Amino acid sequence: MGKLSKNFIIGGLILVMLGLVWFIGYKMAQPNKHISVSSDVLLESVKNVLKLGTVEGNFSEIYSYTDYNYYDISLLRKKVLIRVKAKVLVGFNLDNLQINIDHQAKKVRLGKIPPAEILAIDHNLDYYDITEGVFNSFGRDDHNMLQRETKGMIRKKAMTSDLFSRAEAELNQHLKVLEDLLKGSGWEIEYNIKRADPIEG
C-alpha cells in the first residue's frame, strides 16, 4: 500500500510538471508575444534602412588669410596660405521620426521625414607660406579662428553642392527598397518627405 501511494504521488507530480510545461509553451506561442517581437524587429529594420540615406562629399580648397595693423607693410603683416581637405556628411536626422506600426491593417506609417542637412564636417588644415611680421605674429586665438573660418568656408561650399539632392535620391532609393520588402510580406508603407531648403546643421 505504501509503495503504491508513493508511485501514485510521483506519477501525479510528473503529470503536474508536464501540464506546466504545456501551459508555458502554449502561452509563449500566443499571437501577442509573436506580434511584440515582430514589431521590434520591423521597427529596427525600418530605422536601419532609413539611416542609410546619407552621402559623403570630399572637398579640397585653398584658403588665404592676410592680417596687418594700420599699414600693409611686411613688419606689420601676417599671412598664411592653407589647403583645407574635408569630408562632409549630408543626410537626414531621424532621431525624432515617428514610426507607427498598424498590425491589423499591416501598414507602417512614417511621420514627416525632415529635409537633408549637414550631419558632420571633418576637416584637416595644411599650412603653407606662413609669413609673420615683427610686430604681428600668429597666436593660439588666430589658429582657433582659422579653424572656424575654414570650416565655415567648407560648409558654404557644401550648401551649394549637389550633396543634398544626392542624399534625397539615396533616401528615395532606400524607401523604395523598404517598400518592396514590406510589400513582399503583405505590408504597406506610408511616408511623406518634407521638402524644404537644406538645413545647415
**19: pLDDT strictly greater than 70:** no
**Residue predicted with more confidence, 95 or 26:** 95
Asked if 108 contacts 38 with a C-beta cutoff of 8 angstroms, the reply is no
**38: pLDDT strictly greater than 60:** no
With cut-offs at 50, 70 and 90, classify the pLDDT of residue 173. Answer: confident
With cut-offs at 50, 70 and 90, classify the pLDDT of residue 36. Answer: very low
Count Cβ neighbours within 10 Å for each residue of 59-75 and write b for 16 or more, e otherwise: beeeeebebbeeeeeee
3-state helix, strand, coil in the chain (%, to 5): 45, 30, 20
pLDDT tens string 100-152: 888 888 888 888 888 889 989 999 989 887 776 666 577 788 888 888 999 99
**Residue predicted with more confidence, 1 or 194:** 194
191's grid cell: 511616408
Count Cβ neighbours within 10 Å for each residue of 8-35 and write b for 16 or more, e otherwise: eeeeeeeeeeeeeeeeeeeeeeeeeeee
**13: pLDDT strictly greater than 80:** no
C-alpha of 12 from chain center: 58
Contacts of residue 170, defined as CB under 8 A and 6 or more positions apart, other chains included, come to 52, 53, 54, 55
For residue 149, count other CB atoms closer than 10 A to its CB: 14
pLDDT tens string 47-95: 665 665 678 999 999 988 887 777 667 666 778 888 999 999 998 887 7
Segment 5-30 mean pLDDT: 52
Q: What is the pLDDT at residue 94?
A: 79
**40: pLDDT strictly greater than 60:** no
